[in-house]
Amino acid sequence: MDSRTPQLSPGLYPIDTGMAELQRDGDASDGWLLKINGVQSSHIVLSDPLRLDFEYMRWIIALVEERFPPESTDRLRALHQGGGGCSMPRYLAVRYPHARQVVVELDGQLAEYVRSWFDLPKAPLLRLRVGEARAVTESLTPRTRDLIIRDVFSGSRTPHPLTTVEFTRASALLLDSGGLFVANIGSAPDQITAREEAAAIAEVFPYIGVVADPAMLKGRRYGNIIVAGSDSPLEGSAALRRRLLGGGLPAQFWDDAQARSWIGKAAPRHDPPGSPAPDPATP
């Protein structure tokens, strides 16, 4: 990455979908909090891409490094459905120096700001593609990704078209053997929508896993639940479980049987009747 520090200024910045806000992080001289329409989106420390202050991002990275150990992974082809400040792409660029990453961001003006603010790796290591996540996903070639991270929000919810069986299946078709799909789900205490979204992932992938803190799993608060899917088992090693217990908000890993038990009889989300079938094979 470029070692020069971009000149940033706190304040409000108009973007295509509303307003972005940059706030200084009092704990780091070059740390920044990015808000989108008043909602916290990303935290960046320019001098330390490996610092992830959002717990859910650390949980996702723990799953990724469990599946793809950096010390033995020569390449990693990643698709990020949702960009924000590109905290996780910056992290992966350091841990996997030969990774090829595509970040899909709906808001073109936000993408331009992020390029100039946060010292992103250059193409072809990291490409920012402006577009709607589902449309871009359905335009890509099958079996060309090892990792897909779905982290798209409008306010506190992921848009419905990105939570259905049909969209998840289009994503799964992009993954090579052993690939990993990881979704960040914003959940209310009743967990109704979280279980529906997880049920869609469980219908597509033969193996799933869930990560969240105990209070979330017990339905005691609003927060993040991470659901992963793959065509190979997500066993949750002892090392992964120990790692998830670290940090300010210890988390638990639920394997396939536990995750499906939690989903229970929740009905997976589908596209509305009559919606056009996706064509993921379109180049």
Looking up residue 158, the CATH number of its domain turns out to be 3.40.50.150
Contacts of residue 142, defined as CB under 8 A and 6 or more positions apart, other chains included, come to 173, 174, 280, 281
Residue 40 forms part of a structural domain: no
Does the pLDDT at position 105 exceed 90? yes
Of 111, 152, 108, the closest CA to residue 134 belongs to 152
Look at residue 189 and tell me if it is in a domain.
yes
What's at 113, amino acid-wise? Y
Q: Which of the four pLDDT bands, split at 50, 70 and 90, describes residue 138? A: very high
Residue 219 lies in a domain: yes
Does 8 map to a domain? no
- The confidence band for 97, taking pLDDT boundaries of 50, 70 and 90, is very high
Residue 275 lies in a domain: no
User: Residue 4 corresponds to which tokens in the numbers above?
Assistant: 């020069």
Q: What's residue 276's pLDDT?
A: 62
pLDDT tier at 194, thresholds 50, 70, 90: very high
Q: Please report whether residue 273 resides in a domain.
A: no
Question: What is the per-residue pLDDT across 8-35, written as a single tens digit (0 to 9) for each?
Answer: 899 999 999 999 999 998 777 899 999 9
Residue 11 maps to a domain: no
For residue 96, the enclosing domain spans 52-263
pLDDT at 172 over 50: yes
Instruction: Give the model's confidence band at 6: pLDDT under 50 very low, under 70 low, under 90 confident, else very high.
Output: low
Q: Where are the alpha helices (DSSP H) in 37-186?
A: 55-67, 87-95, 108-117, 133-139, 165-174
pLDDT band for 235, please (50, 70, 90 cuts): confident
Share of the chain above pLDDT 70, in %: 95
Q: What is the mean pLDDT of residues 37-57?
A: 95
Residue 66 lies in a domain: yes
Contact 47, 91 (CB under 8 A): no
| Cα–Cα distance for residue pair 197/104, rounded to 1 Å | 20
State the total domains in the chain: 1
